[in-house]
A and B are shown apart, each in its own frame.
Chain A
Amino acid sequence: MPMKGRFPILRTLEYLQKGEVVFKKSVKIMTVNYNTHGDLSEGARKFVFFNIPQIQYKNPWVQIMMFKNMTPSPFLRFYLDDGEQVLVDVEGKDHKEITNHVKTILGKSDKVLEAEALAKMELSNPANFGPKKYFLRECISEVEGQVPHPGFVPLPKEMTGKYKAKLAANSDE
């Protein structure tokens, strides 16, 4: 079944997770003012179409609002936690330039992101066993090459407890 729409790739989880911009903790609101017609707003329109879903996916607690055709020139405005406002002029820029600029001024740098990912990995050790919600595997029997659960595949006779008990009883006599 084909995907519907102009750019259906924008509606895949893979695309959303590839977003690069992760805002710093102090950014609370992002506002985009752009125009629906005109060459100068072209970059801003593309930014809203292609990059805003990625940004919102990576920053679910940031409020993003779009305003159309309010001012002649397009711009972005960020409202930080301490009341500070950051104004970014976007007139004539390409959408990639805009994302890079936003990433450098208000995004977490690559090093910080890597350190966070590492810390997250350390918390969850893939070698541990437990409930499916928290760990990869519940029992050693789930691993390929290990003895499977007798519920799925009956054990060979020599490994069953009753055979071993019978052997032990026979050898004792």
Chain B
Amino acid sequence: MSTRQASVHAKWIIGQVIGTKMKKTAKVRVTRLVLDPYLLKYYNKRKTYFAHDPLEQCTVGDVVLLKALPEKRSKHVNHELSEIVYKVGQVVDPLTGKRVAGKHYLEPLTESTEDTELSLTEKLEQLNITASTPPSTS
């Protein structure tokens, strides 16, 4: 048989990169929810996949979307990097498009119209606060 079957069962996979020490290859850990037959509860089951990354743009900790290759590239590499979903340290919120860290935004959501050139002293002068005369003691 010259043509083998389409390489893997899983066409699209999402996982976290755990190693990039190989040339142009990323080691990706994929977790799937598997039902424990007795407890009837879902637990994460891990499996590692190797993905072809021609530009070596992955770092350890990225969340990455892999696409199955039409043919096996080597004995273990069956997938290639499709896109980096969340880059570690530079997560971009898909709803707003701003950079995000945990629960707060790194970039301001709205463009501020205030003048940032004025320093604090100048702002205080503008407020015109004068010290009131102390009450005279009788």
Interface residues of A (CB under 8 A from B): 11-13, 16, 28-29, 31, 35, 38, 52-53, 56-57, 63-65, 67, 69-73, 75, 77, 79, 81, 83, 87, 89
Contacts and interface: CB of A to CB of B under 8 A. Distances in A.
B42 A63 contact: no
A63 B10 CA distance: 10
A62 to B, nearest CB: 9
B50 to A, nearest CB: 17
Contact of A70 (B35, B40, B65, B102): B102
A44 B8 CA distance: 32
Contacts of B104: 72
B11 A81 contact: yes
Interface in B37-63: 39-42, 63
A70 B14 CA distance: 16
Interface of B: 10-14, 30-33, 35, 39-42, 63, 65, 67, 82, 85-86, 91, 93-95, 100, 102-105
Contacts of A35: 103
B106 to A, nearest CB: 11
Given A12-B40, A28-B12, A70 B86 contact: yes
Contacts, number: 67
B95 A70 contact: no
5 contacts: A56-B42, A67-B86, A72-B93, A72-B104, A89-B95
Contacts of A12: 40
Given A56-B33, A70-B100, A79 B95 contact: no
A78 B91 CA distance: 18
Contacts of A31: 14, 85
Contacts of A52: 33, 42
B11 A79 contact: no
A29 B14 contact: yes
A95 B33 CA distance: 20
A56 B91 CA distance: 27
A71 B100 contact: yes
A64 B100 contact: no
B40 A72 contact: no
Contacts of A81: 11-12
